[in-house]
Amino acid sequence: MASDAPAWLRAERAEIDNHESNGSWTTVIDRSRLPTGRSLVRLIWVYKTKRDGTKKARLCVQGCAQVAGVDFDQTFCAAMRGTSLRALASLAASMGMRMR
């Protein structure tokens, strides 16, 4: 809705500020400064309204267009808390499901 526009813009600004404070990217204004044979990485916004009504915006990169060691040198793997793993295992067991 148009009435949500300011909240979505704040969520986008917060995401961009996080990337800038982490040094996640280098802003390229002049395409002629790109290395030969390289192109800009495509980005897409993903929006979510959380349970408490707050807006969350994520800036995602088109990963299939990236080259390891050229476009990135680090990866991220989310870690699960032990209590969450136990709850998930308990739920899977109660439903007769297997975890792998």
CB burial class (10 A; 0-12, 13-18, 19+) of residue 11?
A: buried
Q: Say if CB 36 and CB 20 are below 8 A apart.
A: no
Q: What is the pLDDT of residue 42?
A: 79
Flag residues of the chain having pLDDT under 50: none
Q: What is the pLDDT of residue 57?
A: 95
Q: What is the pLDDT of residue 14?
A: 94
What tens digit of pLDDT does each residue of 25-51 get? 777 778 777 777 777 777 889 999 999
Q: What's the 3-state SS for 9-39? A: HHHHHHHHHHHHHHCCCCCCCCHHHCCCCCC
Q: What is the pLDDT of residue 1?
A: 56
Global pTM value:
0.56
Q: What is the pLDDT of residue 81?
A: 85
Q: What is the pLDDT of residue 100?
A: 84
C-alpha count within 13 angstroms, C-beta hemisphere, residue 21:
6
DSSP assignments along 25-94, one per residue: ------GGGSPTT--PPPEEEEEEE-TTS-EEEEEEE-GGG--BTTTBS--------HHHHHHHHHHHHH
